[in-house]
Structure 1
Amino acid sequence: MLTTVLPPHPQQARSGRPGLRAFACWLALSAPLAAQAELGGTVSLHSDLRYRGVSLSAGKPQAQLDLAYDGTEGWYGGALVSHVDFYARSESSLLLGYLGRVMPLAPGLDWELGASASHYPGKDFYNYQELYLGLLGERWQARLYHSPRYYGRPLSTLYAELSLRWPLAARLDGFVGLGYLSTRDDTRNPHGPSRLDTRSGLALRLGQVELQLAHVTLSRGGPYAGPFETDRRRWTLSSSLAF
Protein backbone atom coordinates (compact mmCIF):
# COMPACT_ATOMS: atom_id res chain seq x y z
CA MET A 1 0.00 0.00 0.00
CA LEU A 2 1.24 3.45 -0.74
CA THR A 3 0.87 4.54 2.80
CA THR A 4 3.50 2.02 3.87
CA VAL A 5 6.15 4.04 2.08
CA LEU A 6 4.89 7.46 1.24
CA PRO A 7 3.79 10.63 3.15
CA PRO A 8 0.33 12.21 2.91
CA HIS A 9 -0.04 14.48 -0.05
CA PRO A 10 -0.62 18.11 0.97
CA GLN A 11 -4.34 18.21 0.25
CA GLN A 12 -4.87 15.41 2.74
CA ALA A 13 -2.32 16.54 5.29
CA ARG A 14 -4.11 19.87 5.56
CA SER A 15 -7.40 18.16 6.46
CA GLY A 16 -5.82 15.53 8.72
CA ARG A 17 -6.25 12.63 6.28
CA PRO A 18 -3.48 10.05 5.84
CA GLY A 19 -2.71 9.37 2.24
CA LEU A 20 -0.66 9.11 -0.84
CA ARG A 21 3.01 9.80 -1.51
CA ALA A 22 4.51 10.18 -4.97
CA PHE A 23 6.45 12.04 -7.68
CA ALA A 24 6.33 15.34 -9.57
CA CYS A 25 8.90 18.14 -9.92
CA TRP A 26 7.50 21.66 -10.16
CA LEU A 27 10.20 23.86 -11.72
CA ALA A 28 8.43 27.25 -11.80
CA LEU A 29 5.56 29.01 -10.04
CA SER A 30 4.01 32.35 -10.94
CA ALA A 31 3.92 34.95 -8.17
CA PRO A 32 0.10 34.89 -7.70
CA LEU A 33 0.10 31.09 -7.52
CA ALA A 34 3.05 30.88 -5.14
CA ALA A 35 1.27 33.21 -2.75
CA GLN A 36 -1.47 30.61 -2.25
CA ALA A 37 0.55 27.42 -2.73
CA GLU A 38 2.38 25.40 -0.12
CA LEU A 39 5.66 23.53 -0.46
CA GLY A 40 6.89 21.12 2.21
CA GLY A 41 8.59 17.82 2.72
CA THR A 42 9.37 14.85 4.93
CA VAL A 43 12.57 13.02 5.84
CA SER A 44 11.88 9.51 7.13
CA LEU A 45 13.74 6.43 8.29
CA HIS A 46 12.20 2.94 8.00
CA SER A 47 13.38 -0.26 9.65
CA ASP A 48 12.14 -2.00 6.49
CA LEU A 49 10.96 0.03 3.48
CA ARG A 50 7.67 -1.62 2.47
CA TYR A 51 5.47 -0.82 -0.52
CA ARG A 52 2.16 -2.65 -0.82
CA GLY A 53 3.50 -5.16 1.67
CA VAL A 54 6.66 -5.90 -0.30
CA SER A 55 10.11 -4.92 1.00
CA LEU A 56 12.07 -2.57 -1.26
CA SER A 57 15.12 -2.64 1.02
CA ALA A 58 15.70 -6.41 1.38
CA GLY A 59 14.45 -6.17 4.96
CA LYS A 60 17.10 -3.59 5.94
CA PRO A 61 16.74 -0.02 7.28
CA GLN A 62 16.37 2.68 4.65
CA ALA A 63 15.81 6.45 4.51
CA GLN A 64 13.75 8.46 2.06
CA LEU A 65 13.14 12.09 1.16
CA ASP A 66 9.74 13.43 0.08
CA LEU A 67 8.84 16.85 -1.32
CA ALA A 68 5.19 17.83 -1.62
CA TYR A 69 3.45 20.70 -3.38
CA ASP A 70 -0.11 21.83 -2.66
CA GLY A 71 -1.42 24.08 -5.40
CA THR A 72 -4.63 25.99 -5.98
CA GLU A 73 -8.02 24.57 -6.93
CA GLY A 74 -7.16 21.13 -5.53
CA TRP A 75 -4.02 20.47 -7.60
CA TYR A 76 -1.13 18.69 -5.87
CA GLY A 77 2.15 17.00 -6.69
CA GLY A 78 5.31 15.74 -5.04
CA ALA A 79 8.66 13.98 -5.33
CA LEU A 80 10.16 10.99 -3.53
CA VAL A 81 13.76 9.76 -3.62
CA SER A 82 15.04 6.60 -1.93
CA HIS A 83 17.55 3.80 -2.31
CA VAL A 84 16.10 0.34 -3.01
CA ASP A 85 17.60 -3.13 -2.73
CA PHE A 86 15.57 -5.76 -4.55
CA TYR A 87 17.93 -8.64 -3.80
CA ALA A 88 21.68 -9.43 -3.63
CA ARG A 89 23.73 -7.27 -6.02
CA SER A 90 20.61 -5.64 -7.44
CA GLU A 91 20.37 -2.10 -6.06
CA SER A 92 19.02 1.11 -7.52
CA SER A 93 17.49 4.46 -6.65
CA LEU A 94 13.72 4.97 -6.64
CA LEU A 95 11.97 8.05 -8.01
CA LEU A 96 8.26 7.65 -7.30
CA GLY A 97 5.76 10.31 -8.19
CA TYR A 98 2.33 11.67 -8.82
CA LEU A 99 0.33 14.60 -10.10
CA GLY A 100 -3.35 14.85 -9.22
CA ARG A 101 -6.34 16.93 -8.27
CA VAL A 102 -8.80 16.70 -5.36
CA MET A 103 -12.35 17.96 -5.88
CA PRO A 104 -15.31 18.22 -3.46
CA LEU A 105 -18.10 15.70 -3.86
CA ALA A 106 -20.20 16.20 -0.71
CA PRO A 107 -19.71 17.66 2.80
CA GLY A 108 -16.79 15.75 4.32
CA LEU A 109 -16.18 13.79 1.10
CA ASP A 110 -13.82 14.52 -1.80
CA TRP A 111 -12.81 12.63 -4.90
CA GLU A 112 -9.52 12.70 -6.74
CA LEU A 113 -7.98 11.77 -10.06
CA GLY A 114 -4.28 11.45 -10.77
CA ALA A 115 -1.34 9.69 -12.36
CA SER A 116 1.91 8.37 -10.90
CA ALA A 117 5.22 7.09 -12.24
CA SER A 118 8.03 4.98 -10.77
CA HIS A 119 11.55 5.14 -12.20
CA TYR A 120 14.58 3.02 -11.25
CA PRO A 121 17.77 4.50 -12.76
CA GLY A 122 20.02 1.77 -14.13
CA LYS A 123 17.20 -0.77 -13.93
CA ASP A 124 14.73 0.76 -16.34
CA PHE A 125 13.00 -2.59 -16.91
CA TYR A 126 11.27 -2.06 -13.54
CA ASN A 127 9.77 1.33 -14.55
CA TYR A 128 5.99 1.64 -14.63
CA GLN A 129 3.11 4.14 -14.50
CA GLU A 130 -0.34 4.13 -12.91
CA LEU A 131 -3.59 6.05 -13.11
CA TYR A 132 -5.68 6.29 -9.94
CA LEU A 133 -9.14 7.34 -8.78
CA GLY A 134 -9.94 7.97 -5.12
CA LEU A 135 -12.58 8.84 -2.53
CA LEU A 136 -11.34 10.77 0.52
CA GLY A 137 -13.23 11.00 3.80
CA GLU A 138 -12.30 12.72 7.05
CA ARG A 139 -10.59 9.64 8.51
CA TRP A 140 -10.51 7.21 5.61
CA GLN A 141 -9.53 6.95 1.98
CA ALA A 142 -10.15 4.47 -0.84
CA ARG A 143 -8.30 4.31 -4.15
CA LEU A 144 -8.19 2.22 -7.29
CA TYR A 145 -4.99 2.13 -9.37
CA HIS A 146 -4.42 0.79 -12.88
CA SER A 147 -1.10 0.02 -14.57
CA PRO A 148 -0.75 -1.34 -18.13
CA ARG A 149 2.77 -2.73 -17.39
CA TYR A 150 3.33 -3.35 -13.69
CA TYR A 151 7.03 -3.21 -12.71
CA GLY A 152 7.85 -3.22 -16.42
CA ARG A 153 6.30 -6.62 -17.04
CA PRO A 154 3.59 -7.09 -19.70
CA LEU A 155 0.94 -7.34 -16.99
CA SER A 156 -2.14 -5.11 -16.71
CA THR A 157 -2.95 -4.69 -13.01
CA LEU A 158 -5.57 -3.25 -10.70
CA TYR A 159 -4.71 -2.32 -7.12
CA ALA A 160 -7.47 -1.40 -4.64
CA GLU A 161 -6.68 0.06 -1.21
CA LEU A 162 -8.68 1.15 1.80
CA SER A 163 -7.01 3.04 4.67
CA LEU A 164 -8.43 4.30 7.94
CA ARG A 165 -6.89 6.41 10.72
CA TRP A 166 -8.51 7.57 13.93
CA PRO A 167 -7.42 9.32 17.17
CA LEU A 168 -6.87 7.22 20.29
CA ALA A 169 -5.41 9.92 22.54
CA ALA A 170 -4.10 13.48 22.31
CA ARG A 171 -1.03 12.51 20.25
CA LEU A 172 -1.75 8.89 19.45
CA ASP A 173 -3.59 7.52 16.40
CA GLY A 174 -4.51 4.04 15.29
CA PHE A 175 -4.46 3.05 11.63
CA VAL A 176 -5.30 0.09 9.44
CA GLY A 177 -4.97 -0.50 5.71
CA LEU A 178 -6.01 -3.19 3.24
CA GLY A 179 -4.67 -3.61 -0.28
CA TYR A 180 -5.57 -6.02 -3.08
CA LEU A 181 -3.43 -6.39 -6.21
CA SER A 182 -4.71 -8.47 -9.12
CA THR A 183 -4.07 -9.21 -12.79
CA ARG A 184 -5.70 -11.46 -15.35
CA ASP A 185 -2.51 -11.75 -17.40
CA ASP A 186 -0.19 -13.65 -15.03
CA THR A 187 -1.02 -17.33 -15.54
CA ARG A 188 2.42 -18.63 -14.51
CA ASN A 189 2.20 -17.89 -10.79
CA PRO A 190 1.39 -21.14 -8.93
CA HIS A 191 -0.16 -19.14 -6.07
CA GLY A 192 -2.66 -17.33 -8.29
CA PRO A 193 -2.92 -13.92 -9.96
CA SER A 194 -3.89 -11.89 -6.86
CA ARG A 195 -2.20 -10.70 -3.68
CA LEU A 196 -3.54 -9.20 -0.43
CA ASP A 197 -1.54 -6.95 1.91
CA THR A 198 -2.47 -5.43 5.26
CA ARG A 199 -0.93 -2.86 7.55
CA SER A 200 -2.06 -1.88 11.04
CA GLY A 201 -0.51 -0.14 13.99
CA LEU A 202 -0.03 3.02 16.04
CA ALA A 203 1.24 6.49 15.17
CA LEU A 204 2.65 8.83 17.84
CA ARG A 205 2.93 12.54 16.97
CA LEU A 206 5.65 14.58 18.71
CA GLY A 207 5.57 18.03 17.17
CA GLN A 208 6.88 17.75 13.61
CA VAL A 209 8.01 14.15 14.22
CA GLU A 210 5.80 11.08 13.84
CA LEU A 211 6.75 7.59 15.04
CA GLN A 212 4.93 4.55 13.66
CA LEU A 213 4.83 0.94 14.77
CA ALA A 214 3.14 -1.25 12.17
CA HIS A 215 2.44 -4.91 11.53
CA VAL A 216 2.58 -5.77 7.82
CA THR A 217 1.25 -8.96 6.24
CA LEU A 218 1.46 -10.16 2.65
CA SER A 219 -0.20 -13.15 0.99
CA ARG A 220 1.35 -15.31 -1.72
CA GLY A 221 0.52 -14.89 -5.37
CA GLY A 222 0.11 -11.81 -7.48
CA PRO A 223 2.18 -10.22 -10.22
CA TYR A 224 5.59 -10.06 -8.56
CA ALA A 225 8.82 -11.68 -9.63
CA GLY A 226 10.61 -14.06 -7.24
CA PRO A 227 13.18 -11.49 -6.00
CA PHE A 228 10.36 -9.47 -4.40
CA GLU A 229 9.42 -12.36 -2.09
CA THR A 230 10.42 -11.48 1.48
CA ASP A 231 9.06 -12.03 4.98
CA ARG A 232 5.29 -12.03 4.59
CA ARG A 233 4.62 -11.05 8.22
CA ARG A 234 6.73 -8.42 9.92
CA TRP A 235 6.73 -5.61 12.47
CA THR A 236 8.23 -2.35 11.21
CA LEU A 237 9.27 0.94 12.82
CA SER A 238 9.49 4.32 11.12
CA SER A 239 10.15 7.92 12.09
CA SER A 240 9.29 10.96 9.96
CA LEU A 241 10.25 14.61 10.30
CA ALA A 242 8.10 17.14 8.46
CA PHE A 243 9.51 20.48 7.31
Structure 2
Amino acid sequence: MQVLIARLLLLSCLLALPAHAGQLSASAALDSDDRFRGVSLSHGRPDVRLDVNYDEEGGLYGGISLAAAPGRGQSAPLTHYTAYAGYVTRPASDLSWEGGVSHTHIDDRERYDYDELYAGLITAGITARLSYSPRYYGRDVQTLYADLSGSRQISPHVRLFAHAGWLRRLSGTWGLRPRYDLSAGVAAALRACELRLSVTQTPSLYAWGREDGGTGIVLSAVRAF
Protein backbone atom coordinates (compact mmCIF):
# COMPACT_ATOMS: atom_id res chain seq x y z
CA MET A 1 0.00 0.00 0.00
CA GLN A 2 2.81 2.44 0.85
CA VAL A 3 4.51 1.75 -2.49
CA LEU A 4 1.24 2.32 -4.36
CA ILE A 5 0.67 5.62 -2.56
CA ALA A 6 4.18 6.80 -3.43
CA ARG A 7 3.71 5.95 -7.11
CA LEU A 8 0.34 7.69 -7.22
CA LEU A 9 1.90 10.79 -5.66
CA LEU A 10 4.64 10.74 -8.27
CA LEU A 11 2.17 10.41 -11.13
CA SER A 12 -0.09 13.15 -9.79
CA CYS A 13 2.85 15.54 -9.39
CA LEU A 14 3.99 14.91 -12.96
CA LEU A 15 0.48 15.41 -14.33
CA ALA A 16 0.10 18.62 -12.34
CA LEU A 17 3.06 20.30 -14.01
CA PRO A 18 1.69 22.96 -16.38
CA ALA A 19 3.02 22.65 -19.91
CA HIS A 20 3.38 26.41 -20.48
CA ALA A 21 4.90 27.90 -17.33
CA GLY A 22 8.24 26.19 -16.89
CA GLN A 23 11.56 25.23 -18.39
CA LEU A 24 12.54 21.90 -19.89
CA SER A 25 16.20 20.88 -19.80
CA ALA A 26 18.06 17.76 -20.85
CA SER A 27 21.55 16.31 -20.97
CA ALA A 28 23.20 13.24 -22.47
CA ALA A 29 26.28 11.57 -21.01
CA LEU A 30 28.76 8.79 -21.61
CA ASP A 31 30.18 7.27 -18.41
CA SER A 32 33.01 4.79 -18.04
CA ASP A 33 30.99 3.08 -15.26
CA ASP A 34 27.36 3.33 -14.16
CA ARG A 35 27.66 4.08 -10.45
CA PHE A 36 24.64 4.57 -8.20
CA ARG A 37 25.31 5.46 -4.57
CA GLY A 38 28.83 4.19 -5.13
CA VAL A 39 27.76 0.80 -6.51
CA SER A 40 28.37 -0.25 -10.13
CA LEU A 41 25.03 -1.20 -11.70
CA SER A 42 26.77 -1.94 -15.01
CA HIS A 43 29.39 -4.27 -13.44
CA GLY A 44 32.21 -1.98 -14.54
CA ARG A 45 30.98 -1.46 -18.11
CA PRO A 46 30.48 1.98 -19.73
CA ASP A 47 26.97 3.37 -20.06
CA VAL A 48 25.02 6.06 -21.86
CA ARG A 49 22.72 8.25 -19.82
CA LEU A 50 19.89 10.66 -20.56
CA ASP A 51 18.55 13.15 -18.00
CA VAL A 52 15.39 15.17 -18.60
CA ASN A 53 14.10 17.71 -16.08
CA TYR A 54 11.18 20.13 -15.98
CA ASP A 55 11.17 23.13 -13.61
CA GLU A 56 8.04 25.20 -13.09
CA GLU A 57 8.61 28.76 -11.91
CA GLY A 58 6.27 28.20 -8.95
CA GLY A 59 8.58 25.53 -7.52
CA LEU A 60 7.21 22.26 -8.87
CA TYR A 61 9.64 20.05 -10.77
CA GLY A 62 9.86 16.56 -12.23
CA GLY A 63 12.06 14.47 -14.44
CA ILE A 64 13.69 11.17 -15.27
CA SER A 65 17.24 9.83 -15.39
CA LEU A 66 17.71 6.84 -17.72
CA ALA A 67 20.91 4.80 -18.19
CA ALA A 68 21.80 1.81 -20.37
CA ALA A 69 24.96 -0.33 -20.47
CA PRO A 70 25.98 -3.30 -22.66
CA GLY A 71 24.93 -6.73 -21.41
CA ARG A 72 27.14 -9.79 -21.24
CA GLY A 73 27.59 -11.62 -24.55
CA GLN A 74 24.31 -11.65 -26.44
CA SER A 75 22.22 -10.51 -23.50
CA ALA A 76 20.11 -7.37 -23.65
CA PRO A 77 21.51 -4.05 -22.40
CA LEU A 78 21.38 -3.38 -18.68
CA THR A 79 19.06 -0.46 -18.01
CA HIS A 80 17.74 1.47 -15.06
CA TYR A 81 15.86 4.68 -14.52
CA THR A 82 14.75 6.96 -11.72
CA ALA A 83 11.66 9.13 -12.17
CA TYR A 84 11.01 11.89 -9.66
CA ALA A 85 8.70 14.80 -8.87
CA GLY A 86 8.84 17.38 -6.12
CA TYR A 87 8.60 20.96 -4.95
CA VAL A 88 11.32 23.42 -3.99
CA THR A 89 10.80 26.78 -2.31
CA ARG A 90 12.28 30.00 -3.56
CA PRO A 91 15.48 30.87 -1.67
CA ALA A 92 14.99 32.88 1.51
CA SER A 93 18.24 34.16 2.99
CA ASP A 94 20.06 31.83 0.56
CA LEU A 95 18.24 28.82 2.02
CA SER A 96 15.47 26.77 0.41
CA TRP A 97 13.89 23.41 1.12
CA GLU A 98 12.53 20.69 -1.12
CA GLY A 99 10.41 17.57 -0.87
CA GLY A 100 9.30 14.93 -3.32
CA VAL A 101 8.98 11.30 -4.33
CA SER A 102 10.97 9.06 -6.68
CA HIS A 103 10.61 5.64 -8.29
CA THR A 104 13.62 3.55 -9.34
CA HIS A 105 13.55 0.61 -11.75
CA ILE A 106 16.64 -1.55 -12.29
CA ASP A 107 17.08 -3.64 -15.45
CA ASP A 108 14.25 -6.16 -16.06
CA ARG A 109 14.20 -7.19 -12.41
CA GLU A 110 10.92 -5.67 -11.24
CA ARG A 111 11.46 -7.26 -7.84
CA TYR A 112 14.17 -4.64 -7.26
CA ASP A 113 11.88 -1.65 -7.97
CA TYR A 114 11.49 0.73 -5.06
CA ASP A 115 10.12 4.15 -4.14
CA GLU A 116 11.48 6.86 -1.89
CA LEU A 117 10.04 9.94 -0.23
CA TYR A 118 12.64 12.66 0.28
CA ALA A 119 13.10 16.08 1.90
CA GLY A 120 16.10 18.35 1.91
CA LEU A 121 17.72 21.75 2.39
CA ILE A 122 19.65 23.66 -0.28
CA THR A 123 22.11 26.49 0.33
CA ALA A 124 25.22 27.93 -1.32
CA GLY A 125 25.81 24.99 -3.67
CA ILE A 126 25.22 22.40 -0.92
CA THR A 127 22.25 20.02 -0.68
CA ALA A 128 21.41 17.91 2.38
CA ARG A 129 18.66 15.31 1.91
CA LEU A 130 16.90 12.49 3.74
CA SER A 131 15.21 9.73 1.70
CA TYR A 132 12.84 7.13 3.12
CA SER A 133 11.91 3.90 1.34
CA PRO A 134 9.15 1.56 2.59
CA ARG A 135 10.59 -1.37 0.54
CA TYR A 136 14.20 -0.73 -0.45
CA TYR A 137 15.31 -2.71 -3.52
CA GLY A 138 11.92 -4.42 -3.42
CA ARG A 139 12.78 -6.14 -0.15
CA ASP A 140 10.81 -6.30 3.08
CA VAL A 141 12.91 -3.58 4.68
CA GLN A 142 12.42 0.11 5.44
CA THR A 143 15.47 2.33 4.98
CA LEU A 144 16.64 5.86 5.52
CA TYR A 145 19.31 7.34 3.26
CA ALA A 146 21.03 10.56 4.34
CA ASP A 147 23.28 12.34 1.88
CA LEU A 148 25.20 15.57 1.49
CA SER A 149 26.26 16.90 -1.92
CA GLY A 150 28.15 20.02 -2.87
CA SER A 151 29.79 21.80 -5.77
CA ARG A 152 32.21 24.74 -5.88
CA GLN A 153 33.27 26.74 -8.92
CA ILE A 154 37.00 27.43 -8.69
CA SER A 155 37.38 29.08 -12.11
CA PRO A 156 35.08 30.01 -15.01
CA HIS A 157 35.55 26.56 -16.52
CA VAL A 158 36.44 24.28 -13.59
CA ARG A 159 34.43 23.15 -10.58
CA LEU A 160 34.88 20.64 -7.78
CA PHE A 161 32.11 18.37 -6.51
CA ALA A 162 31.67 15.84 -3.71
CA HIS A 163 29.03 13.54 -2.23
CA ALA A 164 28.66 11.55 0.99
CA GLY A 165 25.80 9.17 1.76
CA TRP A 166 24.75 6.86 4.59
CA LEU A 167 22.13 4.10 4.24
CA ARG A 168 20.54 2.53 7.33
CA ARG A 169 17.86 -0.10 7.81
CA LEU A 170 14.98 1.09 9.98
CA SER A 171 13.01 -2.17 10.14
CA GLY A 172 12.35 -5.36 8.19
CA THR A 173 13.66 -8.89 7.74
CA TRP A 174 16.41 -8.31 5.16
CA GLY A 175 19.81 -8.26 6.85
CA LEU A 176 20.98 -5.00 5.33
CA ARG A 177 23.91 -3.55 7.22
CA PRO A 178 24.52 0.21 7.48
CA ARG A 179 26.73 1.35 4.64
CA TYR A 180 28.26 4.53 3.30
CA ASP A 181 29.18 5.86 -0.12
CA LEU A 182 31.65 8.61 -0.93
CA SER A 183 32.60 10.34 -4.14
CA ALA A 184 34.59 13.40 -5.17
CA GLY A 185 35.78 14.79 -8.44
CA VAL A 186 36.53 17.65 -10.79
CA ALA A 187 34.60 18.88 -13.83
CA ALA A 188 35.95 20.99 -16.68
CA ALA A 189 33.82 22.78 -19.29
CA LEU A 190 35.13 22.15 -22.79
CA ARG A 191 33.13 23.96 -25.46
CA ALA A 192 29.66 22.38 -25.48
CA CYS A 193 30.63 19.49 -23.19
CA GLU A 194 31.67 19.01 -19.58
CA LEU A 195 34.29 16.41 -18.74
CA ARG A 196 34.12 14.88 -15.24
CA LEU A 197 36.57 12.71 -13.35
CA SER A 198 35.46 11.24 -10.02
CA VAL A 199 36.54 8.67 -7.45
CA THR A 200 33.93 6.62 -5.56
CA GLN A 201 34.12 4.39 -2.50
CA THR A 202 31.48 2.09 -0.98
CA PRO A 203 31.09 -1.48 0.37
CA SER A 204 29.74 -4.28 -1.86
CA LEU A 205 26.43 -4.34 -3.71
CA TYR A 206 23.07 -4.31 -1.90
CA ALA A 207 21.09 -7.03 -3.64
CA TRP A 208 22.98 -9.32 -6.00
CA GLY A 209 25.85 -10.41 -3.77
CA ARG A 210 28.49 -9.31 -6.27
CA GLU A 211 31.53 -7.30 -5.26
CA ASP A 212 30.58 -4.23 -7.32
CA GLY A 213 31.45 -1.73 -4.63
CA GLY A 214 34.95 -0.87 -3.44
CA THR A 215 36.86 1.98 -5.02
CA GLY A 216 36.07 3.08 -8.55
CA ILE A 217 37.20 5.78 -10.95
CA VAL A 218 34.58 7.19 -13.33
CA LEU A 219 35.20 9.38 -16.36
CA SER A 220 32.17 11.12 -17.89
CA ALA A 221 31.46 13.36 -20.85
CA VAL A 222 28.22 15.34 -20.52
CA ARG A 223 26.41 17.45 -23.13
CA ALA A 224 23.54 19.72 -22.06
CA PHE A 225 20.74 20.74 -24.42
TM-score of the two chains, using structure 1 as the length reference: 0.78
Q: Is the 8 A contact 1:81 1:95 kept in 2?
A: yes
For structure 1, which runs of at least 5 residues remain unmatched after alignment?
A: 1-22
2:111 is equivalent to residue 162 of structure 1: no
- Structure 1 pair 28/121, CA: closer, same or farther in 2 (3 Å)? farther
Q: Quote the residue 1:3 is aligned against.
A: none
Amino acid at match of 1:229: E
- Measure how far apart 1:106 and its partner are: 2.7
Mapped to 2, the partners of 1:71 and 1:154 lie a distance apart of 36
Q: Is the 8 A contact 1:92 1:123 kept in 2?
A: no
Mapped to 1, the partners of 2:31 and 2:172 lie a distance apart of 31
2:224 is equivalent to residue 242 of structure 1: yes
Q: Is the 8 A contact 2:141 2:173 kept in 1?
A: no
Query: Which segment is superposed worse, 203-212 or 85-94?
Result: 85-94
Q: Quote the residue 1:79 is aligned against.
A: 64
Q: Quote the residue 1:193 is aligned against.
A: 177
The C-alpha deviation readout for 1:108-147, integer Å capped at 9, x for no partner, is 1100010000124632101110000010012111000000
2:98 is equivalent to residue 112 of structure 1: yes
SS at match of 1:151: helix
- Structure 1 pair 238/111, CA: closer, same or farther in 2 (3 Å)? same
The C-alpha deviation readout for 1:141-173, integer Å capped at 9, x for no partner, is 100000010110111010000011112222111
Q: Is the 8 A contact 1:87 1:227 kept in 2?
A: no
Q: Quote the residue 1:53 is aligned against.
A: 38
TM-score of the two chains, using structure 2 as the length reference: 0.84
Aligned residues: 214
The C-alpha deviation readout for 1:158-212, integer Å capped at 9, x for no partner, is 00000111122221111111100110446765xx720011001101122431111
As a proportion of its length, which structure holds more strand? 2
Amino acid at match of 2:124: E
Q: Quote the residue 1:233 is aligned against.
A: 215
2:191 is equivalent to residue 210 of structure 1: no
Instruction: Pick one of 132, 148, 151 that aligns with 2:137.
Output: 151
Mapped to 2, the partners of 1:58 and 1:158 lie a distance apart of 25
SS at match of 1:125: helix
Q: Percent identity?
A: 36
For structure 2, which runs of at least 5 residues remain unmatched after alignment?
A: 1-9
Q: Over aligned residue pairs, what C-alpha RMSD do you find?
A: 2.8
